[in-house]
Amino acid sequence: MGNIMAIFGKEMRSYFGSPIAYVMAGVFLLFSGFVFRNQLLEFHDMTVYLKLAEREEKMLLNVNTEVVTPFFEFQTFIWMIVIPMLTMRLYAEEKRGGTYELLMTSPITSAQILIGKFLACYVLYLLIEVMAFGYIGVLSMYSQLDWGPIFSGALAVVLIGATFISVGILASSLTENQIIAAVLSFFFLILLWIIDWAARFASDIFFVILKFLSLIEHTRDMIHGVVDTHDVVFFVSAAAFFLFLTHTVLESRRWRT
């Protein structure tokens, strides 16, 4: 535990001691704020229009589905770009700078190093998310929100972050070049995101498999307010699987040929 905390503390210091944490938080909050604002203005326009037109559909309009849900959907999209930049340095930089040798010759296991690094990135991710929830907080002061879908959306954010980060760490453990690590994780994440597009043209069993692998498929219900345990299990096991792969990659260098 002490070892995990030592690595965690070191990574946190490195995120906050350099511009990385601030730039990434700034970029994320700017983009998600931009989307939030636009959705809100559009919602406003629609209500004004429907009210003037005295149309019945105004009863169907709701701030949750028009503003909060698109906000969550767009967030996961920005994270696909931001997370590779947070994870790319985790192993690649250590390998390039020679400090990987220091860690591996210290009495600390590769699992402890991995968990420490994962937690540091995850905590940073959650901190940025907490700030983004400030937008919803402001909205709640001026409108009647349905909190159920917001909590389930928050759960989706918590779960999908763990999966994204574990994919990014795997990419970083494969190379000592940070750019390659970032590109690899973009590729993995985007592929996992849109893999269900291929499902439309696949038959029977492949249809099921491709649908199952798609990240977007598993977030959709949760963002709309339906928490299905099978989605929760999917994200937890996906994160665990990628972390396990990373651990195997790191340990494999100690295998005898």
Which chain residues interact with another protein by CB under 8 A? 2-3, 5-7, 9-10, 13-14, 17-18, 97-109, 253-257
Closer Cβ to another protein, 96 or 211, answer by number: 96
Closer Cβ to another protein, 108 or 174, answer by number: 108
Q: What is the CA radius of gyration of the chain?
A: 21
Q: What is the rounded distance in angstroms from the CA atom of residue 1 to the CA atom of residue 5?
A: 6
Instruction: State the nearest-atom distance from the C-beta of 111 to another protein, in Å.
Output: 12
One-letter amino acid identity for 162?
A
Closer Cβ to another protein, 200 or 256, answer by number: 256
Instruction: State the nearest-atom distance from the C-beta of 253 to another protein, in Å.
Output: 7
Instruction: State the nearest-atom distance from the C-beta of 6 to another protein, in Å.
Output: 4
Closer Cβ to another protein, 45 or 101, answer by number: 101
Instruction: State the nearest-atom distance from the C-beta of 246 to another protein, in Å.
Output: 18
Q: What is the rounded distance in angstroms from the CA atom of residue 23 to the CA atom of residue 47?
A: 36
Residue 177 DSSP symbol: -
Q: Among residues 74, 84, 118, which one has the least CA distance to residue 216?
A: 74
Instruction: State the nearest-atom distance from the C-beta of 25 to another protein, in Å.
Output: 18
Residue for token pair 């699992």 = 111
Closer Cβ to another protein, 22 or 147, answer by number: 22
Closer Cβ to another protein, 9 or 26, answer by number: 9
Residue 225 DSSP symbol: T
Instruction: State the nearest-atom distance from the C-beta of 15 to another protein, in Å.
Output: 11
Q: Among residues 93, 120, 94, 122, which one has the least CA distance to residue 7?
A: 120
Secondary structure (3-state) at 184: helix
Which segments of the chain does DSSP mark as H helices, in order? 2-17, 20-53, 63, 69-87, 89-97, 99-104, 110-142, 147-173, 178-194, 204-213, 215-223, 229-252
